Amino acid sequence: MATYAGNDSDADSGIGENFLRDVGGGAKTVVEFAYNRIRSDILCGNLQPESRLRMDRLRQSYGIGINSLREALTRLTADGLVLATGQRGFTVKPISLGDLKDITEMREFLESRALAQAIEHGDLDWEGRIAAAYHKLSRAEQKLSENSREHAMLWEERNREFHAALISACPSPWLLHFQSVMYSQSQRYRMLSLVERSIPRDETFQEHRLIMEATLDRDISRATELLRHHIVKGAQVTTPRRLVGLGTPGSAA
């Protein structure tokens, strides 16, 4: 039986183990549930940059006790998605062109190296994961072309799965960990842009296919070059409208 750690205020919220399993992304504790939900709302833009994260409102929205919320927000602070502002509590981390540029360069650096190592160590099962992830992504891309707002989250999920599959044979846990952190940071900017406007995706679809083919051909130089271009161009194309005109993210990469 699944159990969850919490205090009396969490128990009073009425969160049961079935609810945690069905809604909280497989969460087994109230803290994990709160972390997953708030993180998702930040990455999707439901909680906007610089928003104050007031405990009373969060408790009402998520039905979670104060202590568990505070612990979840502390974890999100470590992830770089939330800022602790002393006596004022917590706020969603602001966005800026400089931050997006830094994220883009770090993701480009980490993910291209992870891909190179994955190509060196990948086996037949790894190739199968890439092919399966690309197939799912292609279907999601078709739906995104029909209605970007309705299918944005499905596409983002499939996009993450594809990029994760590409580097899944990388033998370095630390490299994979920090790549995942940078991917999540870039996802926040991408989702903010997707809800603001429709973004042309034809070139992105083509890039995914080329990256997959070069990777399965074990062409490290071409695959990593295509991936670096894909990451930098993606950041430029999906820069949130509020930052457009302030510069070009990743232009130095």
**pLDDT, tens digit, for every residue of 127-153?**
999 999 999 999 988 887 777 667 778
Provide the whole-model pTM.
0.77
Q: How far, in Å, are 41, 86, 92 from residue 21 at the CA level?
A: 18, 33, 26
Instruction: Assign a CATH topology to domain 97-243.
Output: Four Helix Bundle (Hemerythrin (Met), subunit A) (1.20.120)
Instruction: Assign a CATH topology to domain 8-92.
Output: Arc Repressor Mutant, subunit A (1.10.10)
Q: What's the confidence (pLDDT) of residue 46?
A: 86
Residue 246 has pLDDT above 60, yes or no: no
Boundaries of every domain in the chain: 8-92, 97-243
Residue 78 has pLDDT above 70, yes or no: yes
Over the stretch 203-244, which tens digit does the pLDDT of each residue have? 788 999 999 999 999 999 999 999 999 999 988 877 776 676
Over the stretch 168-182, which tens digit does the pLDDT of each residue have? 999 999 999 999 999
Q: What's the confidence (pLDDT) of residue 222?
A: 98
Contacts 24+ apart (CB under 8 A), 13-19: 13/59, 13/63, 13/64, 13/65, 14/63, 15/63, 15/64
**CB-CB neighbours of 1 under 10 Å:** 3
Cα Dmax for the chain: 56
CA distance linking residue 203 with residue 173, whole number of Å:
31
Across the chain, what does the average pLDDT equal? 83
Instruction: Give strand pairing partners of 82.
Output: 92
Over the stretch 41-76, which tens digit does the pLDDT of each residue have? 998 888 989 999 999 999 999 998 999 999 999 999
Model confidence band, residue 99 (pLDDT cutoffs 50, 70, 90): very high
